Each structure stands twice: as C-alpha cells, then as structure tokens.
A and B are shown apart, each in its own frame.
Chain A
Amino acid sequence: MNDYFNMGGYAAFVWPAFALSFGVLATLLVASLKSLRASEQALLDAGAKTETPQ
C-alpha cells in the first residue's frame, strides 16, 4: 500500500496534480451552484415567478 502511495518516488508530483485538478473543479462547481441559488433567491425577492419553462 505504501508502495502505491509512493508512486515510484514521484508522489510529490502525482498527488498534488490530481488533488489540485479535482480541488479547482470542485470549487468552480460549488461557486456556480451557489450563484445559481443566489440568483433564484434574488428573483424571488424581486417579486417574479421562478424560471419555470412553459
């Protein structure tokens, strides 16, 4: 198991590459979800019906 996490001595390069990739994408996703929720709330506050398709 330790052998696996060691990545043939390249652990310091392989793991950060994966962690960073998925970290950045997850952050972008969460931020986009939040701004959608916020926009729906703002629309309600402004007194409109939600974006329901007809």
Chain B
Amino acid sequence: MHRFANPTRFVALARAVQPWAMTIALATLFAGLWFGLLASPPDYQQGETVRIMYVHVPAAWMAMFCYTGMAGASAVALVWKHAVAHVTARATAPIGAAFTFLALVTGSLWGKPMWGTWWVWDARLTSVLILFFLYLGYMALENAFDDRARGQRAAAILAIVGAVNVPIIKFSVDWWNTLHQPASVVRLDGPSIHPSMLTPLILMAVGYTAFYIWVLCLRVRADINMSKVRALKLRNA
C-alpha cells in the first residue's frame, strides 16, 4: 500500500486500471440493461416494477461501499499523512453522493406503487438519507477552509465519525421492524431471489463498481494534476 503513496506511482496505477474499468463497466452495464429490461421475467407480486430493483439495489450497495472507502481512505490520510489517501477520499465523495441520490429516488419510484407511499421515516430510509447528508457535508467541509490542509482534516474526521451510520443502514432492517424489506442477496441462508432476476442484479452491481473505479481514476488524475498546477504557480510566484 505504501508503494502507491507516491503520487506519480498512484497516477501510473490509475492510468493502467482506467481502460480495464471502462471496458468492464460498459460491457456489464449494457448486459445488465439487456437482462434487466428485456431478458428477465416480472415478479409474482411486484410485476414489472421489480425491474426498478436492478438500478436501485446496486446504487444502494455502492452508496455504502463508497462511504466505507471514503472513511477508510480518510483514516489512512490522518494516520499516515499520505496525500493520495486524501485525494482518493475527495474523488470518491461526489460519486458516492450520486449513488446515494439514485438509491433514494429509485426507491421512492418503487415505493409509490408498491408500498403506497413515496417516503416513510423508517430506520432504513432515514439512515440512508443521513448518509446522503454526510456526503454533502464532507464535500462542503472540504471547501470551507482557506487553508486546504485544515479543510481536508476536518472533512476526514467527519467521514470517520459518519462511518457509524454504515452498519446502522445495513442492519436497520434486522434490528428494527421497518417498512423496508430485509436483505435478499447478502444473507446467511443464501439469496431468496430467483436466478433469472439475480443475473441482471449482479451484472448491474459489477457495472456500477467498475463505473466507480473508472470515474475514480479520472477524478484522481485531475486532482493530482491540479495540485501540481498549484505547486508550479507557487514556485513561479
């Protein structure tokens, strides 16, 4: 890990990973759309609305995955003072926020016809909304200080503190009775979802993950470029 703490090596890694992530993302997202919209059956209860699950569930997974990554990178940045860890966390925040937003909105679009409401304040939905605000807070805090280092440190601390929310989201459906249904795929006794519906779900999940890595590479490279620009300007000034 420390080998990649060097920004030049980190950029080289991002450049090497990027085309692979792009290829996998485009291929799996296309296949996921095909299976999700055309080559899968309606559900015995939800009918065609089950298809919303194929964009909703992976978005919700990525919302938690990105946050875990952001908090982990922030912890590394605070302890080992690696600049690239801050860069990774900062580049992850808007991607995670986008996934959280999509999870909330697509869930709402499913909830209206199926539950009978756009929104309820149950433990699952509320904790995901808090996750969205944590992302926004992180991004705001990053930019709130004239001193970049202070902003980074404050945002990193917020990210770590907010990590408490991630297990609460995951287990909220088990700990409390919520309107939201319990887990279907990640459970001890195996998925309670038919293979014909698991296929598009897994394809979309792989596609979203690869998409995250692809965009992360782009943003990390842009971020490191800009810090080089600042260093050059400082030297020339």
Residue B219, interface by CB 8 Å? yes
Is B228 in contact with A10, judged by CB distance below 8 angstroms? no
- How many whole Å from A50's CB to the nearest CB in chain B? 9
**What 0/1 pattern do residues 13 to 47 of A give for CB contact below 8 A with B?**
11011101100110011001101101110110011
Is A36 in contact with B12, judged by CB distance below 8 angstroms? no
Number of B residues contacting the other chain (C-beta, 8 Å)? 42
Is A14 in contact with B215, judged by CB distance below 8 angstroms? no
Is B110 in contact with A39, judged by CB distance below 8 angstroms? no
In the complex where A28-B215, A46-B233 touch, is A51 in contact with B95 (Cβ < 8 A)?
Answer: no
List, in ascending order, chain B residues with CB within 8 A of A7's CB. 48-49, 51
Give the dominant DSSP class at A's interface: helix
**Residues 108-131 (chain B) with a chain A CB within 8 angstroms:** 109-110, 112-113
Q: How far is the CA of A43 from the CA of B233 in the complex (A)?
A: 10
In the complex where A46-B233, A47-B232 touch, is A10 in contact with B215 (Cβ < 8 A)?
Answer: no
**What 0/1 pattern do residues 48 to 87 of B give for CB contact below 8 A with A?**
1101100110010000000000000000000000000000
Is B221 in contact with A14, judged by CB distance below 8 angstroms? no
Is A51 in contact with B49, judged by CB distance below 8 angstroms? no
Which B residues have a C-beta under 8 Å from some C-beta of A? 8, 11-12, 15, 33, 37, 42, 47-49, 51-52, 55-56, 59, 94-95, 98, 101-102, 105-106, 109-110, 112-113, 211, 214-215, 218-219, 221-226, 228-229, 232-233, 236
New A-B contacts (18) at CB < 8 Å, excluding given A8-B48, A39-B221, A53-B8: A7-B51, A9-B48, A13-B52, A13-B113, A14-B48, A14-B109, A16-B109, A17-B52, A20-B102, A20-B105, A28-B95, A29-B214, A33-B218, A36-B219, A36-B222, A42-B226, A46-B229, A47-B236
In the assembled complex, 17 residue pairs joining A and B whose CB atoms fall closer than 8 Å, in A order, are: A8-B42, A14-B48, A14-B52, A14-B109, A20-B105, A21-B106, A25-B102, A28-B95, A32-B215, A32-B219, A33-B218, A35-B218, A42-B225, A47-B232, A48-B232, A51-B225, A53-B11
